[in-house]
């Protein structure tokens, strides 16, 4: 990977982190409010991300957008299945509810000096490693 791209991605990541911080998306209290159905704040964040993602996918598909290297972006169709989404959503949601954050806020909170999130990050890596070992047995 070219060094210029690394710098660009790093700058974009920093701006993303600032946006999440200023929007209070990393706040444990906001996440708690969401799981108690007391506030629309986080649902607005998530809903906005889903809408923007869906629009971007449609733009990529219809305009045949290419990546930075000039190669076609191929979005493969996935099998229709409810169990894999249900199982994955439950596991992700449980982890999110227990920890009070998903992956991007983990990095942001570590940057803020919340070093207890290092433990969460290590176990997230362990979970990723475990998934890699058991991937062939899981419903895909």
Among candidate residues 34, 55, 76, the one where a domain is terminated: 76
Strand ranges (DSSP E) for 1-140?
none
For residue 80, what pLDDT is reported? 81
The pair phi, psi for residue 2, each rounded to 5°, is -70, 145
Among candidate residues 54, 76, 98, the one where a domain is terminated: 76
Q: Is 101 exposed, middle or buried (0-12, 13-18, 19+ CB in 10 A)?
A: buried
Q: What is the pLDDT of residues 35-48, one digit of tens each?
A: 788 888 888 888 99
Domain count, the chain: 2
Judge if 55 and 40 occupy the same domain.
yes
Sign of CA dihedral 16, 20, 22, 23: positive
Query: Which H, E and C letters describe 79-106, residue by residue?
Result: CCCCHHHHHHHHHHHHHHHHHCCCHHHH
Judge if 1 and 58 occupy the same domain.
yes
Judge if 71 and 127 occupy the same domain.
no
Judge if 10 and 61 occupy the same domain.
yes
Judge if 44 and 93 occupy the same domain.
no
Q: What is the pLDDT of residues 76-131, one digit of tens each?
A: 888 888 888 888 888 888 887 777 777 778 888 888 888 888 998 898 889 889 88
Q: What is the pLDDT of residues 79-91, one digit of tens each?
A: 888 888 888 888 8
Whole-model pTM: value is 0.67
Range of the domain at 112: 78-139
Read off the pLDDT of each residue in 15-26 and give the average, rounded to a whole number. Answer: 86
């Amino acid at each position: 990977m070219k060094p210029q791209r690394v710098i660009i991605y790093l700058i974009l990541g920093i701006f993303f982190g600032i946006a999440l911080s200023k929007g209070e998306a990393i706040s444990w209290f906001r996440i708690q409010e969401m799981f108690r159905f007391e506030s629309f704040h986080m649902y607005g964040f998530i809903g906005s991300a889903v809408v923007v993602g869906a629009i971007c996918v449609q733009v990529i598909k219809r305009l045949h957008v290419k990546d930075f290297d000039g190669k076609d972006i191929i979005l493969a169709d996935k099998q229709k299945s409810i169990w894999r989404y249900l199982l994955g959503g439950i596991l992700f949601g449980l982890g999110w509810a227990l920890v009070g954050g998903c992956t991007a806020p983990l990095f942001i909170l570590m940057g803020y000096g919340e070093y207890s999130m290092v433990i969460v990050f290590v176990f997230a890596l362990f979970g990723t490693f475990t998934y890699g070992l058991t991937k062939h047995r899981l419903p895909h």
